[in-house]
Chain A
Amino acid sequence: MNKILLSFLSLILVISCSKNISPVDSGLETQTFHFGNGSEPQGIDPHIVTGVPEHHLLIALCEGLTTSNPRGGESLAGAAESWNISDDGKIYTFALQKNGKWSNGDPVTAQDFVWSWKRVLTPSLGSQYPDMLYYVQGAQEYHSHDSSQGVAQPSFDTVGVKALDDYTLEVTLNNPTPFFLGLLSHYSTWPVHKETVLKHGSIDDRNGQWTRPGNFVCNGAFQLKSWELNSRIIVERNPMYWDANTVGLNEIHFYPVQNVMTEDRMFRAGQLHVTSTLPSQKCPVYIEEKNPDLRIDPYMGTYFYRLNTKHPVLQDPKVRRALAFSIDRKQLVNKVTKCGQIPAYSFTPPGSNGYEPDTSITFDPEYAKSLLKEAGYDEDNPFPELEILFNTNEDHRKIALAIQQMWQQNLGVQIKLVNQDWKVYLNREMIGDFEVSRAGWIGDYEDPNTFLDTLRPNRGNNKTGWANPEYDMLVEKANETQDQAKRYDLLNRAERILIDEMPIIPLYTYVRSYQLSPDVKGHYPNYLDHHHPKYIYLERD
């Protein structure tokens, strides 16, 4: 009987064990790019979804007025071939591509943009990024309309976006907003095909079927071919795209590989050209081994600790500064995170579109101790125990352990670590039920405003309870200033107030660590990690 068993097993193995040609090898010939996309995208309606995997898909499928530069920096022409900015910086006039087409062949017109922005700002759609358009005149008022109050919805004519003719779009802003062009590379501002959306639902239908393969129409370099839930999404070259000659790839296969170890194994077995990330424990190993596929690129993101400034102990800025000055950031990145992260001494990562904050948070335990003493804590009045809140994750735990040790050693402060499920952690942060909590922020566009704006009072992402009128005034004034040098000066002053008062403690600047096959060309490091697939092609050296 054992013989039967053995021959059965060997048969299974022999049938299937002819050596497979890996997808990465076969992709070279067919120009098929195999892309590790992290998790299953929520969808591909640019006005509804949020998240990075969704962005990877949408950047292939749809196109806004401008597109991200593959090497970072100034935005490039997208659906708009050129634009004019009025002298006061408030009126943007976009000339659309004359041969811009939707994937079904219809022309992309200025009216499409007006309708699409109307859709984003329709309250009942429940878009999560309407604030991207709040810089447009009348947009916030239109979106904030509450139908239950019995007041009629204002006409969309009150919003500063007009189609002057089929190919000219005029946008009027509240203030000059120098980063407005950068904002347009965010998918919430991208157009949708009105006829397709309306064919499968109404303007505010979140669950319309227009995003399904076969139904989906958009204006990007690729079009949707198939979508196997939780398995693979295939997009293929869109022949109608205005710049189709630039496009090198024929197909992109997106794999929602949530498990980082699985993704790493898929890359090693030649099933992926690029991974979404790297198992953190493998990063130092790959650095040591000088793995040629390892990429560590700069990334516009900051890892920081939020302090609850409404907490009786933490409401004293001296205490907050003491905590910040007793952290050895170099030690943290060299001994704990170990993947090329950069110690952070400002909230905004340095170099964001030429912005270089001049703040510093030196590691000075003596100064930190003296601050704590000034705040009234000594042997007779010991500092009470504090709690660090973080979401359950081994990397966050390691960092929290290191900070716990530094604070205990340098300040004699007792720290308790509390880890919570992701949603519980978010909820506790939101309702202010925390003392110190770990946080991260990734820029939406390449400008310091994407960071500094979040700490203005009444911003949902502030969460620290901190409000400083001067800071608020400086950030607002900076947004009204057209001269970039003057603007950065104002923002730098705001940044100094932030670091003086320390409602948040910056720890390190993120890096993007991942693996990339050497066959992939046209994939350059850039601060926002936006890699437009139209520039990517596959070639073996």
Chain B
Amino acid sequence: MLAIFIKRVFMAIPVLLAVATMTFFLIKLAPGGPFDAEKAVSPQVLKNLNAVYNLDASEWEQYTDYMTGVIQGDFGPSFKYPGRSVTEMIASGLPITFELAMYAILIALVIGVLSGVLAALKRNTMLDFIPMAIAMIGICVPTFLMGPLLVLIFGIQLELLPVAGWGQLSGDKILPSITLGFAYAAYIARLSRGGMLEVLNQDFIRTARAKGLTERMVVIKHAMQGGLIPVVSFLGPAIAGLLAGSFVVETIFQIPGLGRFYVEAALNRDYTMILGTTIFFSAMIVFFNLISDLASLWLNPRSRDV
């Protein structure tokens, strides 16, 4: 397993290098620059600004300068927010995005696995149909609808929970976590139901039952280990996706996470911020995919020999 781990880490380096290089040159191709504004700056001012941010050097020179910085862990200064470095901004948003992602994944796992397993055990009964129908709705209803809907009910009508913010008012983390978690709960419910159904029909389950184990032991000890492998494989990309893709929930609930920086950087042509967040998210995706693959290997002995 260690060999696989080392091999995959080395494979990630050219991937990240390619991502950084392509992003660097692609953003330069996009029309408009970081200092374009409705109130145009004079050519003199633009020249000064380009000099300050080294944008008057050749593209190759800018690229090598940037990559040298990145290797040393310096993503450069943000163009949009003078006085702030990209590293600092990622560091400020990451813990919040991570916390939100963890709550969401926890909610998704509890709801998803419980209802999925239950649906598989009570196949073709109401306990199967109802959670699965809800799961289907969860997959179909986008977060930008679910979020405001929950806010309207719990925030504005019932006045029970704050409608926005993160860590400022008591209970303001509940609605965004549920909104984000619910969409993933739906996927996990369907995956765990499918996985469990497949495992429950296998011989070793029949053997376990024949040995006289209680149904609870059969399910928890034997069936779930194999039945939840699809969920584990899903979790890696899901966490990476949650880290990069919670922009909508962060915007609806006014959460100061990374997702907003990521999208706004592109709109602002904040070159260093775009590069920094892209490289960071790519690294996250590579990392969580690796973790999820390793977890699957550990859960499924058959694939270790492959």
List residues of chain A with CB under 8 Å of any chain B CB.
1-2, 4-5, 8, 12-13, 16-17, 19-20, 23, 40, 42-43, 45, 48-50, 123-128, 130-131, 143-144, 206-209, 211-212, 228-232, 255, 257-259, 261-262, 265-266, 268-269, 271, 421-424, 426-428, 430, 439-440, 460-461, 463
Q: Which of B3-11, B42-50, B196-204 contacts A (4 or more CB under 8 A)?
A: B42-50
B82, B111, B166: the one contacting A48 at CB < 8 Å is B82
Minimum Cβ distance to chain B for residue A2 (Å): 7
Let me know if A421 and B40 touch, CB within 8 A.
no
5 A-B pairs with the lowest CB-CB distances in the bound complex, closest first: A423-B32, A16-B171, A230-B256, A460-B40, A231-B256
- Which of these, B52, B160, B166, contacts A206 with CB under 8 Å? B52
Are A5 and B110 in touch, CB under 8 angstroms?
yes
5 contacts between A and B (CB under 8 A): A2-B118, A20-B170, A230-B260, A268-B163, A421-B267
B162 CB-CB contact with A under 8 Å: yes
Taking a contact as CB atoms closer than 8 A, the residue among B33, B168, B267 that contacts A232 in the complex is: B168
- Are B256 and A20 in contact (CB-based, < 8 A)? no
Q: Are A259 and B251 in contact (CB under 8 A)?
A: yes
Judge whether A231 and B37 touch: CB under 8 Å. Answer: no
Residue from A19, A43, A422, A460 in contact with B82 in the complex, judged by beta carbons closer than 8 Å = A43
CB of B40 within 8 A of CB of A461, answer yes
Interface flag for B297 (CB, 8 Å): no
B31 at the interface (CB under 8 A from A): yes
Enumerate chain A residues within 8 angstroms of B160, measured Cβ to Cβ.
13, 16-17, 19
Known: A16-B171, A124-B48. A423 touches B36 (CB 8 A): yes
Are the CB atoms of A426 and B156 closer together than 8 Å? no
Closest chain A residue, CB of each to CB of B51: A124
Contact between A440 and B38, CB atoms less than 8 A apart: yes
Nearest-neighbour CB distance to chain A for B5, whole angstroms, equals 35
Rounded to whole Å, the gap between the CB of B94 and the closest CB of chain A is: 11
Closest partner residue, chain A, to B260 (CB atom): A230
* Interface: B190 (CB within 8 A): no
Q: A207: which of B39, B42, B83 is its contact (CB, 8 Å)?
A: B83
CB proximity to A under 8 Å, residues B88-130? 89, 92-93, 110-111, 114-115, 118
Q: How far is the CB of B115 from chain A (nearest CB, A)?
A: 8
Query: Is B163 in contact with A265, judged by CB distance below 8 angstroms?
Result: yes
Known contacts A45-B83, A265-B148, A428-B31; A128/B45 CB under 8 A: yes
Task: Kindly list chain A residues whose C-beta atoms are within 8 Å of the C-beta of B253.
Answer: 262
Q: For residue B267, which residues in chain A have a CB less than 8 angstroms away from its CB? A: 421-423
- Cross-chain contact of B159 among A127, A255, A269 (Cβ < 8 A): A269
Q: How far is the CA of A208 from the CA of B38 in the complex (A)?
A: 26
Interface size on B, residues (CB 8 A): 65
Which residues of B are found within 8 Å of A266, using beta-carbon distances? Answer: 163-164, 254
Could you say which residues of chain A place their CB within 8 Å of the CB of B31?
423-424, 427-428
Cβ A229 vs Cβ B92 within 8 A: yes
A426 touches B163 (CB 8 A): no
**In the complex, chain B residues 261-300 whose Cβ is within 8 Å of any chain A Cβ:** 261, 264, 267-269
Whether, in the assembled complex, B195 has its beta carbon less than 8 Å from a beta carbon of chain A, the answer is: no
CA distance A16 to B160 in the complex (A): 8
Specify which of A4, A42, A212 is in contact with B80 (CB 8 Å cutoff).
A42
Known: A2-B118, A43-B82, A126-B48. A265 touches B155 (CB 8 A): yes
Residues of B within 8 A of A127 (CB): 45
Complex CA distance for A529 and B171, rounded to whole angstroms: 35
Which residue of the partner chain, among B30, B92, B110, B118, contacts A8 with CB atoms under 8 Å? B110
Query: How far, in angstroms, from A208 to B161 measured CA to CA in the complex?
Result: 40
Interface check B165, CB cutoff 8 A: yes
Given contacts A124-B51, A126-B49, A427-B32, contact A229 B82 (CB under 8 A): no
Residues of A within 8 A of B25 (CB): none
Contact of A17 among B85, B148, B161, B264 (CB under 8 A): B161
Partner of A430, one of B36, B51, B260, B261: B36
C-alpha spacing A209/B39, complex, angstroms: 27
Chain B positions within 8 Å of A232 at CB level: 165, 168
How far apart are the CA atoms of A320 and B151 in the complex, in Å? 49
Contact A423 B269 (CB under 8 A): yes
CA distance A45 to B255 in the complex (A): 25
Any A CB within 8 A of the CB of B237: no
Taking a contact as CB atoms under 8 Å apart, the answer to whether A262 and B118 are in contact is no
CB atoms of A229 and B83 under 8 A apart = no
Contact of A124 with B39 in the complex, beta carbons under 8 Å: no
- Please name 16 further chain A to chain B contacts, defined as beta carbons within 8 Å, in addition to the given A259-B254, A461-B40, sorted by A numbering: A2-B114, A5-B110, A16-B174, A17-B161, A19-B160, A40-B81, A128-B35, A207-B83, A257-B164, A262-B254, A265-B156, A266-B164, A271-B163, A271-B164, A271-B169, A426-B32
State how many angstroms separate the Cβ of B92 from the closest Cβ of chain A.
5
CB-based nearest B residue for A48: B82
A23 to chain B, nearest CB (A): 7
Picked from B36, B155, B251, the residue with its CB within 8 Å of the CB of A426 is: B36
When the two chains form their complex, are residues B83 and A43 in contact, meaning their CB atoms are under 8 A apart?
yes
A196–B163 alpha-carbon span in the complex (Å): 39
Q: CA separation between A123 and B49, bound complex, in Å? A: 9
Contacts of A4 in B (CB 8 A): 114
B41 within 8 Å of A (CB atoms): yes
Q: Is the CB of B38 within 8 A of A426?
A: yes
A208 to B92 alpha-carbon distance, docked (Å): 19
User: Closest approach, in angstroms, between the C-beta of A200 and any C-beta of chain B?
Assistant: 9
Residues of chain B from 27 to 73 with CB closer than 8 A to chain A in the complex: 30-33, 35-45, 48-49, 51-52
**Which chain B residue shows the least CB distance to A258?**
B251
Q: How far is the CA of A5 from the CA of B114 in the complex (A)?
A: 8
Bound complex: CA A426 to CA B40 (Å) = 9
Contact of B41 among A128, A271, A440, A463 (CB under 8 A): A128
Q: Which residue of B lies closest to A21 (CB)?
A: B169
Given contacts A269-B155, A271-B164, A423-B267, contact A12 B174 (CB under 8 A): yes
Are B111's CB and A19's CB within 8 A?
no
Nearest CB in chain B: distance from A437 CB, A: 12
Contact status of A230 and B93, CB under 8 A, knowing A130-B45, A259-B252, A423-B33:
yes
Question: Hey, which chain A residues are within 8 Å of B138, CB to CB?
Answer: none
Complex-state Cα separation, A241 to B165, whole angstroms: 31
Residue of B30, B37, B77, B118 touching A1 (CB-CB under 8 A): B118
Q: What's the least CB distance linking A99 to chain B, in Å?
A: 31
Tell me which residues across on chain B come within 8 A of A257, comparing CB atoms.
164, 254
Rounded to whole Å, the gap between the CB of B183 and the closest CB of chain A is 17
* A269 contacts B82, C-beta separation under 8 Å: no
- Chain B residues lying within 8 Å of A43, measured Cβ to Cβ, are 81-84
Q: Which of B155, B164, B260, B264 has the most CB of A within 10 A?
A: B164
Instruction: Known A259-B251, A271-B162; judge A131-B77 contact (CB<8 A).
Output: no
Q: Contact: A424 with B168, CB < 8 Å?
A: no
- B301 CB to closest chain A CB (Å) equals 28
- Nearest Cβ on chain A to B261's Cβ, whole angstroms: 7
Return the contact of B164 from the options A8, A262, A427 (Cβ within 8 A): A262
Once bound together, how far apart are the Cα atoms of A13 and B150, in whole Å?
13
Residues of B within 8 A of A124 (CB): 48, 51-52
B203 to chain A, nearest CB (A): 26
Contacts of A440 in B (CB 8 A): 38
* A144→B82 contact, CB < 8 A: no
Measured in the bound complex, the distance between the Cα atoms of B39 and A103 in whole Å is 32
Taking CB atoms, residues of chain B closer than 8 Å to A130 are 45
Chain B residues 233 to 266 lying within 8 A of chain A, measured CB to CB, are 251-257, 260-261, 264
**Chain A nearest Cβ from B169, distance in angstroms:** 6
Please name the residue on chain A nearest to B42 by beta carbon: A460
Q: Which of B81, B115, B155 contacts A42 (CB 8 A)?
A: B81
| Alpha-carbon separation in the docked complex, A252 to B44 (Å) | 37
The answer to whether A265 and B164 have CB atoms under 8 Å apart is yes
